[in-house]
């Protein structure tokens, strides 16, 4: 598909620092007619904040997709899907109206659009209806282990990526059988994740990383965090492997 025929973009902006944005992402960010971004009510979304260094606020270009619910309801609760499904349906319809009017729409995504991203719910609804391009990006976890100076896999190490939203028993099971790990979606799940890592024998190797590559970046050995540490959702834990070295 010719690039000039694309009207719908999933735009990966990278881990946070705009210097890690790809040339392609920056070009689309600067030229798209509409910039859509997910956010909480009354807040500026993480992806839109990343874009600020390249494009300033412009109400005529921006489409804020305001979540009806975020962490107020557990993701596995029926009410969560009941709230999010119509939200994604309405958001997809809104963007389709813009595209059918001849405008290009870029959905801003922190990290990579196809890695735990809300964009995927729009992509799934629109990909067969309009010319689409997904612009890949440096992921948040890649930015985290690089900034921490912690190569994540050596030799034949197996890397496991798990969401912190899993039950503690399931987290423990998956972490116990791996060489290296990344735990996403921390927030209020941090105490549970810490226990699972301890049970799996990985606590001493674990590193907490918050807002990797950004000005507010924090990199702290997990054992050094206090039990009542308040982790934001935009944080993760890495456990570097210890595999073959020559």
Residue boundaries of the structural domains of the chain: 3-138, 141-239
Say what angle helices 78-100 and 119-126 make with each other, to 10 degrees: 60
Region 98-122: mean pLDDT is 96
Q: How far apart are the first and last CA of the chain?
A: 45
3-state helix, strand, coil in the chain (%, to 5): 35, 20, 45
For 65-104, how does the pLDDT look when each residue is reduced to its tens digit (9 = 90+)? 999 866 555 666 666 677 889 999 999 999 999 999 999 9
Give me the CATH code for the 3-138 domain, please: 3.40.1010.10
213/74 Cα distance (integer angstroms): 29
Record the tokens describing residue 64, joined without a space. 């804020």
Distance from chain centroid for Cα 113? 8
- How confident is residue 110, by pLDDT bands cut at 50, 70 and 90? very high
Q: Is residue 4 over pLDDT 70?
A: no
More confident call, 121 vs 232 = 121
- How confident is residue 2, by pLDDT bands cut at 50, 70 and 90? very low
Q: Is residue 171 over pLDDT 70?
A: yes
Instruction: Quote the strand ranges of the chain, DSSP E.
Output: 8-12, 34-39, 62-66, 105-109, 132-135, 159-163, 180-184, 207-210, 218-221, 235-239
For 180-214, how does the pLDDT look when each residue is reduced to its tens digit (9 = 90+)? 999 999 999 999 999 999 999 999 999 999 999 99
Region 16-29: mean pLDDT is 96
163/184 Cα distance (integer angstroms): 5
Q: Is residue 8 over pLDDT 90?
A: yes
* pTM for the structure as a whole: 0.90
Region 119-132: mean pLDDT is 97
26/11 Cα distance (integer angstroms): 9
- Please report, rounded to a whole number, the percentage of residues in the chain having pLDDT higher than 90: 79
The mean-pLDDT minimum among 4-13, 21-30, 101-110 falls in 4-13
Record the tokens describing residue 42, joined without a space. 């009354």
The mean-pLDDT minimum among 73-87, 133-147, 165-179 falls in 73-87
Region 231-239: mean pLDDT is 92
Beta partners for 159? 180
Fold for domain 141-239?
A: 3.30.950
What pLDDT shows up at residue 37? 96
């Amino acid at each position: 598909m010719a690039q000039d025929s694309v009207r719908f973009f999933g735009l990966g902006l990278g881990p946070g620092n705009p210097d890690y944005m790809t040339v392609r992402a920056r070009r689309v960010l600067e030229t798209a007619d509409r910039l859509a971004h997910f956010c909480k009510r009354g807040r500026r979304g993480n992806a839109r904040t990343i874009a600020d260094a390249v494009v300033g606020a412009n109400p005529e270009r921006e489409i804020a997709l305001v979540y009806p619910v975020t962490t107020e309801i557990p993701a596995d609760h029926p009410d969560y899907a009941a709230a999010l499904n119509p939200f994604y349906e309405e958001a997809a319809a809104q963007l389709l109206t813009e595209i059918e009017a001849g405008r290009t729409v870029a959905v801003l995504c922190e990290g990579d659009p196809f890695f735990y991203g809300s964009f995927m719910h729009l992509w799934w609804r629109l990909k067969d209806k309009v010319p689409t391009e997904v612009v890949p990006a440096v992921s948040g976890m890649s930015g985290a282990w690089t900034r921490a100076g912690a190569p994540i896999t050596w030799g034949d190490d197996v890397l496991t990526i798990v969401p912190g939203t899993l039950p503690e028993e399931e987290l423990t099971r998956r972490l116990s059988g791996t060489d290296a790990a990344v735990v996403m979606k921390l927030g209020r799940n941090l105490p549970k994740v810490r226990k699972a890592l301890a049970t799996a024998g990985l606590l001493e190797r674990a590193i907490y990383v918050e807002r990797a590559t950004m000005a507010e970046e924090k990199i702290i050995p997990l054992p050094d965090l206090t039990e009542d540490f308040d982790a934001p959702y935009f944080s993760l834990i890495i456990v570097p492997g210890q595999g073959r070295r020559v």
